[in-house]
């Protein structure tokens, strides 16, 4: 019988990226971003992340921003595979998980003088959130669903199966950034800094109580039996018989039943419960450079975040798979990012903005060299508009389009992304000359990615997956200057 579970657990080490941005990067650090994602030329305190060179053009003094977001996402994988009908009667199943971050905080701060400015931020800069698949994943169940056919091929008629599977994943990259900007002249400022990134992941999952209808119920039907227990008993009986034949001097029968005992013991092990409880952690440094050029009604901003080399180390409590040895390191680079954009003041009360992101995903080392399966790096295009309703209130709206370099080889049900567009809108209110309140709502519309394997695991059967997500974010933040 084929190995049923071990390969599926390999997926547990994959990322669970949640926020706007690249495959492993969160760009929605502030409520200003939720209101209008095109922040690459921002000249407000959120520039500490989005346009750090632009901090130099803020008013002299201290600036501080506290932002709280509430994030909700649902991952959906509709999977079609004929053997699924043996557990529930349908060959199509939905495997889904709700991912939520009730409170996602971030802080930005800056001190600005005539020529110099120091700025920094602390935020969840990558990964983000928790995901729970209460019914496991298709990559788990697809292997188990083959059991009735495999049993039948070996003279044990079976048409149904059942399994209890579950997976929980959590991933955060916490980033602390600091840097300095310098005003070269009245139009140009430059920036140099860095971000310390600390990754903390946690994965817990199991596949247990694998059953099939292999015993008669005495009324012309069949009953479900735990296969590991069943084959354990069969193996023990075969071993007892083998020993009896040995004592009787029938060495041919002894060898035959000894072989049967070994086969049954192997099947019992392959269908036994499998558990995993593993934490991972690691850290890496991101160098960052940037510039801002301001002239007339235009402002241009740009930054480049270098590739962050990072390895994450397993701290394994339980690993029945043999795939997550304690102390082993796995590549987990954060891709380099080039971001630039511009704003233009159409009227004293009306501004438009545009931006572009490119993530160098194919140059970032991932587990199992997964980056080699990408066709290109991620491209994002952003635009927005902001209008001052009155001296103390403004409204804004913006859009972001994300295009990944996906391929069938890259996509799996534990780690997937789909192209999308996002819309954010909100308002800002000057509560006083020093305090500004921002509120916003941001949602993402994900495309569907369809993946079909014509011959799944040598069965000759097609296996189809449809990947998509839902994503919604609300947030509130306060800016303070003194």
- The pLDDT of residue 19 is 53
Whether residue 83 contacts residue 158, with contact meaning beta carbons closer than 8 Å, is answered with no
Cα 349 to Cα 222, 253, 344, distances in angstroms: 76, 94, 11
- Assess if residue 246 is contained within a domain: no
pLDDT confidence bin for 13, thresholds 50/70/90: very low
Per 3-state DSSP, the chain is made up of helix, strand and coil in percentages (nearest 5) of: 20, 55, 25
- The pLDDT of residue 6 is 42
- Assess if residue 65 is contained within a domain: yes
- Assess if residue 257 is contained within a domain: no
The average pLDDT across 192-214 equals: 95
Lowest mean pLDDT among 17-26, 125-134, 154-163, 378-387: 17-26
Predicted confidence (pLDDT) at residue 15 exceeds the cutoff of 80 = no
- The pLDDT of residue 14 is 41
The average pLDDT across 192-198 equals: 98
Give me the domain span that covers residue 31: 6-144+161-214+282-481
Name the β-bridge partners of 345. 351
Give the ranges where 52-137 is alpha helix by DSSP (H). none
Name the β-bridge partners of 217. none
pLDDT confidence bin for 195, thresholds 50/70/90: very high
Q: Percent of the chain scored above 90 by pLDDT?
A: 82
Taking the C-alpha atoms of residue 146 and residue 4, their distance in angstroms, rounded to an integer, is 9
Those residues with Cβ within 8 angstroms of residue 110's Cβ, 6 or more apart along the chain or in another chain: 45, 48, 55, 58, 62, 63, 117, 118, 119, 120
Q: What average pLDDT does the structure give for the chain?
A: 92
- The pLDDT of residue 2 is 41
Taking the C-alpha atoms of residue 409 and residue 35, their distance in angstroms, rounded to an integer, is 36
pLDDT confidence bin for 193, thresholds 50/70/90: very high
Predicted confidence (pLDDT) at residue 127 exceeds the cutoff of 70 = yes
Predicted confidence (pLDDT) at residue 121 exceeds the cutoff of 70 = yes
Predicted confidence (pLDDT) at residue 12 exceeds the cutoff of 70 = no
- Assess if residue 242 is contained within a domain: no
The average pLDDT across 420-442 equals: 97
The average pLDDT across 364-371 equals: 89
The average pLDDT across 367-394 equals: 95
- Assess if residue 271 is contained within a domain: no
pTM of the model: 0.90
Return the CATH number at 40: 2.40.160.60
What is the gyration radius of the CA atoms in the chain, in angstroms? 28
Task: Show the CA angle centred on residue 441, arms to residues 435 and 442, nearest 5°.
Answer: 125
Domain count for the chain, please give it: 1
Please report which helix (H) or strand (E) contains residue 256, including its range: helix 251-270
Cα 433 to Cα 60, 258, 394, 437, 440, distances in angstroms: 14, 86, 15, 11, 21
Predicted confidence (pLDDT) at residue 5 exceeds the cutoff of 80 = no
- Assess if residue 272 is contained within a domain: no
pLDDT confidence bin for 126, thresholds 50/70/90: confident
- pLDDT tens-digit profile of 60-111? 999 999 999 999 989 999 999 999 999 999 999 999 988 878 889 999 999 9
- Assess if residue 232 is contained within a domain: no
- Assess if residue 338 is contained within a domain: yes
Q: What is the Cβ-side half-sphere exposure of residue 104, based on CA atoms within 13 angstroms?
A: 31
- pLDDT tens-digit profile of 254-312? 999 999 999 999 999 999 999 999 999 999 999 999 999 999 999 999 999 999 999 99
The average pLDDT across 144-155 equals: 92
């Amino acid at each position: 019988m084929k190995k049923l579970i071990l390969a599926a657990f390999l997926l547990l080490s994959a990322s669970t990226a949640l926020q706007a941005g690249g495959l492993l990067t969160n760009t929605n650090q502030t409520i200003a971003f939720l209101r209008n994602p095109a922040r690459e030329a921002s000249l407000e305190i959120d520039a500490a992340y989005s346009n750090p060179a632009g901090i130099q053009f803020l008013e002299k003094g201290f600036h501080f921003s506290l932002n709280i977001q509430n994030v909700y996402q649902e991952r959906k994988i509709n999977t079609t595979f004929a053997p699924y009908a043996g557990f529930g009667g349908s060959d199509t199943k939905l495997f889904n998980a709700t991912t939520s971050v009730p409170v996602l905080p971030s802080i930005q701060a800056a001190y600005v003088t005539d020529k110099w400015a120091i700025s920094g931020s602390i935020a969840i800069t990558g990964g983000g959130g928790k995901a729970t698949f209460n019914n496991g994943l298709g990559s788990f169940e697809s292997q188990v669903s083959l059991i009735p056919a495999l049993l039948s091929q070996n003279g044990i008629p079976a048409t149904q199966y059942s399994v209890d599977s579950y997976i929980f994943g959590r991933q955060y990259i916490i980033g602390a950034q600091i840097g300095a900007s310098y005003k070269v002249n009245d139009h140009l400022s430059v920036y140099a800094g860095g971000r310390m990134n600390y990754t903390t992941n946690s994965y817990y999952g199991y596949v247990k109580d694998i059953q099939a209808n292999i015993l008669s119920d005495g009324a012309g039907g069949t009953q479900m039996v735990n296969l590991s227990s069943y084959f354990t008993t069969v193996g023990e009986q075969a071993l007892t018989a083998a020993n009896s034949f040995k004592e009787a001097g029938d060495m041919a029968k002894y060898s035959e039943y000894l072989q049967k005992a070994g086969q049954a013991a192997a099947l019992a092990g392959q269908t036994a419960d499998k558990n995993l409880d593993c934490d991972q952690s690691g850290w890496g440094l991101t160098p960052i450079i940037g510039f801002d050029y301001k002239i007339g009604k235009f402002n241009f901003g740009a930054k480049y975040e270098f590739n962050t080399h990072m390895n994450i180390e397993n701290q394994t409590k339980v690993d029945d798979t043999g795939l997550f040895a304690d102390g082993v390191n796995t590549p987990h680079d954060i891709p380099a990012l080039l971001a630039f954009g511009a704003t233009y003041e159409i009227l004293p009360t009306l501004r438009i903005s545009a931006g572009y992101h490119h993530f160098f995903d194919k140059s970032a080392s991932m587990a199992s060299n997964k980056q080699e399966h990408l066709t290109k790096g991620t491209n994002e295009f952003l635009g927005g508009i902001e209008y001052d309703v009155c001296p103390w209130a403004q409204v804004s709206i913006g859009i972001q389009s994300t295009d990944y370099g996906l391929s069938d080889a890259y996509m799996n049900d534990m780690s997937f992304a789909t192209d999308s567009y996002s819309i954010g809108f909100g308002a800002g209110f000057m509560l006083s000359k020093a305090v500004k309140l921002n509120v916003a709502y941001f949602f993402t519309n994900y495309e569907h990615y369809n993946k079909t394997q014509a011959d799944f695991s040598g069965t000759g059967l097609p296996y189809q997956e449809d990947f998509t997500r839902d994503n919604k974010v609300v947030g509130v933040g306060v800016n303070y200057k003194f």
